[in-house]
Amino acid sequence: MTAPVQRIVAVATCLAAGVLALGWRAETTGAAPGVPKAIAAHRTPSQPNIAGSWDPRAAAAYLDQRETWWIAWPKAARDHETFCVSCHTAVPYALARPALRRALGVQAPTENERRLLENVVRRVRLWKEVAPFYTDADRGAYKTVESRGTESVLNALILASNDAPSGRLSSDSRAAFDHMWAEQQTTGSKQGAWLWLRFANEPWEADDSDYYGATLAAVAVGLAPGNYRASPEIQTNVQKVREYLNRERAAQTLMNRVALLWADAKLPGLLDADKRRAIVQEVLAMQRPDGGWSLSSLAAGWTRADGTPQETRSDGVATGMVVFALLQAGAPRENPQQQRALAWLAANQGKTQGSWPAYSLNRNEEHHQTPETARFMSDAATAYAVLALTEANQP
């Protein structure tokens, strides 16, 4: 290539980048406040329905098999014939499996959905009798209160999500929310948040996971039917959540701020337009050339306990969570970056198992307890990929 041609190509590239950058800053009528213009682009007739080119039946089979395994796994068993509700397998299952049923035209809950809900309800009803997931005696200091804080949020989230389609908040859900508010911190640096389980594992079990837990609490309140969020008796609690999420936002990993986008979509007012736009732009800037996102890039600086290097490839957890959060924030699927991300999700569902690839931030596959525990992040990846793809297919 001659020098003049090189200069022309360079100028054209810079101009294209400048146009794109300006496009991200501008907003357009019809977009959610704080969602950049490029996110609000309209699909042309030539753009395919990428979100429809995946296999929901295979995803359902994988998630059902994994939840069956989790429920029966001896290490998940807890007292009163209950089992632990995990952030990587049980909670994503509870959120994604109903979406899969709707996609498949099935109304009745699966057997595993029923068992999971019964488990949560049983623990809510026996709250003062049932032992926490972990105790100080068996897992070290603060594990009792961390378990109570974590479980209270997860119980409320699962039950509120289950109640949402009916438009009525059940008495068990109200009890779960009462437990959740009772566990909310009222003083100190964590005021407004919940003590969260810390096992030095990212995501969801690390020192910054209190913030993630608070976003889930906000999602639960936003999902609860019957205008629960406006109940006079919880306004002080809700305000404390808002204040905490705003106060600690700037110090969070991008992964936690992606969760904040989701929370803001369900409980509006957590972010103003400028802050929402800033998160969206930062997330989009991290998109990989293949259209996906890497979880290690969203938790920048986290090192594995086993000393092995982090995976930098795109994965289903990061890509699914980002796409789902962007769609929740008002970003339609038709914009080019969303189309590339949806194409990545559609192309990377496993042909044999129906799951999406994912990689632990804490150890490589060889250093997991068993091949089954090595699939924990694939459980979450598959659930969040399902949530993203089914959300993209909403009319």
What CA–CA distance (Å, rounded) separates 270 from 183? 21
Counting Cα atoms < 13 Å in the Cβ hemisphere of 333 gives 20
Compute the chain's Rg from CA coordinates. Answer: 21
In order, the DSSP letters of 351-394 are TTT-------SS--GGGSSSTTGGGHHHHHHHHHHHHHHHHHT-
Position 206 pLDDT exceeds 50: yes
Does residue 168 fall inside a structural domain?
yes
Q: What is the rounded CA–CA span in Å between residue 251 and residue 344?
A: 30
Q: In whole angstroms, what is the distance from residue 62 CA to residue 346 CA?
A: 16
As for how many domains the chain has, the answer is 1
In the structure, what pLDDT confidence band is assigned to residue 204 with cuts at 50, 70 and 90? very high
Task: Return the pLDDT at 15.
Answer: 31
The 10 Å Cβ neighbour count of residue 27 is: 17
pLDDT category of residue 395 using cuts at 50, 70 and 90: confident
Mention every residue, 6+ apart, whose C-beta is less than 8 A from residue 215. Answer: 245, 256, 259, 260, 262, 263
Going by pLDDT thresholds of 50, 70 and 90, the confidence category of residue 50 is low
Say whether pLDDT at 232 is over 90.
yes
pLDDT at residue number 367: 80
In this model, does residue 44 exceed pLDDT 50? Answer: no
The answer to whether residue 345 is domain-embedded is yes
Cα–Cα distance, 364 to 34 (Å, whole number): 38
- Two tokens at 174? 């109200």
> What is the identity of the amino acid at 285?
A
Q: Which two tokens stand for residue 82?
A: 């209950």
Whether residue 332 has a cis bond before it, omega within 30° of 0: no
Q: Per-residue pLDDT tens for 137-149?
A: 999 999 999 999 9
Structural domain range at position 173: 27-392
- Whether residue 238 has pLDDT greater than 90: yes
CA atoms within 13 A on the CB side of 110: 22
Spatial separation of the C-alpha atoms in residues 110 and 328, rounded to whole Å: 26
Residue 116's φ and ψ, nearest 5 degrees, are -65, -45
Residue 14 inside a domain? The answer is no
Confirm whether 10 is domain-assigned.
Answer: no
Question: Would you say residue 22 has pLDDT above 50?
Answer: no
Residue 41 has pLDDT above 80, yes or no: no
pLDDT digits (tens, 9 = 90+) for 114-134: 999 999 999 999 999 999 999
* Assigned domain for 36 exists: yes
Residue 5 placed within a domain: no
Q: Grade residue 49 by pLDDT with cuts at 50, 70 and 90.
A: low
What does the mean pLDDT of the chain come to?
A: 89
- pLDDT digit string (tens) for 65-110? 999 999 999 999 999 999 999 999 999 999 999 999 999 999 999 9
Query: Residue 89: its pLDDT value, please?
Result: 97
CA distance 261 to 2: 47
Q: For residue 243, is pLDDT > 50?
A: yes
Share of the chain above pLDDT 70, in %: 87
Paired with 280 in beta bridges are: none
Identify any residues that bridge with 77 across adjacent strands, giving them in sequence order. Answer: 83
The answer to whether position 121 is within a domain reads: yes
Residue-wise pLDDT tens digits, 182-198: 999 999 999 999 999 99
Residue type, position 364, single letter: N
Name which of 5-19, 132-146, 163-177, 351-365 the model is least confident about.
5-19
DSSP secondary structure letters along 182-227: HHS--SSTTTTS-----SSBTTTBSTTHHHHHHHHHHHHHHH-TTT
For residue 395, the 8-state DSSP code is -
CATH code, 226: 1.50.10.20
Residue 3 lies in a domain: no
Q: How many contiguous H segments (helices) and E segments (strands) does the chain have?
A: 15, 2
Residue 153 has pLDDT above 80, yes or no: yes
Nearest of 206, 248, 239, 203 to residue 221 by alpha carbon: 239
In whole angstroms, how far apart are CA 260 and each of 70, 191, 230, 328, 337?
28, 17, 20, 11, 20
Q: What are the tens digits of pLDDT across the range 266-323?
A: 999 999 999 999 999 999 999 999 999 999 999 988 999 999 999 999 999 999 999 9
Please name the residue that has the structure tokens 């309140």: 221
3-state SS assignment for residue 57? helix
Identify whether the C-beta of residue 355 lies closer than 8 Å to the C-beta of residue 62: yes
**pLDDT surpasses 90 at 37:** no
With 70 as the cut, is the pLDDT of residue 7 above it? no
